[in-house]
Amino acid sequence: MVSTNSGRTWDYSAVVARDPKVGFNEASLLETRSGALIAFIRTDNFKDHTVIARSTDGGRTFSPWQNAGFQGHPHHAIKLADRRVVLVYGYRHPPFGVRARLLDPECSDLPLANESKSCPEVVLRDDGGNGDLGYPWVVTAGKNKVLVVYYFNKQNGNRHIAGTICEVCK
């Protein structure tokens, strides 16, 4: 959906991802410096793999979805001052928790992000009680730091909001 009047009205724009066997939901969008829209999408019937779809025309069309090469959902991403992107997501398989990845400014390295030698997947928490966790949100928190807040549970107990401050590698 798109709005040309600051959200007062909305019009249909395009399908972001479609597949006869894979389900898609809980998309999180990020606009890169070049103006590309990157959709980080939760899947169903795809072993919880993250997928992405990219639009280079303001969301009128999206490229076919791509497997990002790792499990996790739902997602949130922000751009850092140095233009890199921090992507955070829940991890709903043992060990349950919250994870993050550092991506290049256009998120073009995403399918290979799990092989990055300079800044691989970061486990922020792996002590969750079960898969009922995640929904992270990330914000910058000073020079080279981010705050990630998320829904969490320990030992399958009370659900709560927790947070992790972490340093972003250079």
CATH of the domain at 157: 2.120.10.10
Which pTM was predicted? 0.91
The residue among 111, 119, 123 whose CA lies nearest residue 148 is 123
Average pLDDT over all residues of the chain: 92
- The answer as to whether 95 is a domain residue is yes
Rounded to 5 degrees, φ, ψ at 148 are -115, 120
Quick check: 93 and 49 in contact, CB under 8 A? no
- The answer as to whether 133 is a domain residue is yes
Residue 66 has pLDDT above 90, yes or no: yes
- The answer as to whether 17 is a domain residue is no
- The answer as to whether 106 is a domain residue is yes
CA distances (Å), 132 to each of 45, 74, 128, 159, in order?
Answer: 18, 12, 8, 8
Q: Which pLDDT score is estimated for 120? A: 75
- The answer as to whether 6 is a domain residue is no
- The answer as to whether 86 is a domain residue is yes
- Residue 131 or residue 110, greater confidence: 131
Q: Which pLDDT score is estimated for 35? A: 95
Residue 116 has pLDDT above 60, yes or no: no
Residue 91 has pLDDT above 80, yes or no: yes
- The answer as to whether 8 is a domain residue is no
Residue 93 has pLDDT above 80, yes or no: yes
Residue 27 has pLDDT above 70, yes or no: yes
- The answer as to whether 134 is a domain residue is yes
Q: Predicted confidence band at 117 (pLDDT cuts at 50, 70, 90)?
A: low
Range of the domain at 152: 23-167
Distance CA 35, CA 17 (A): 19
Give the total number of structural domains in the chain: 1
Q: Which pLDDT score is estimated for 69? A: 87
- What's the CA dihedral at 105, 108, 113, 115 to 10 degrees? -120
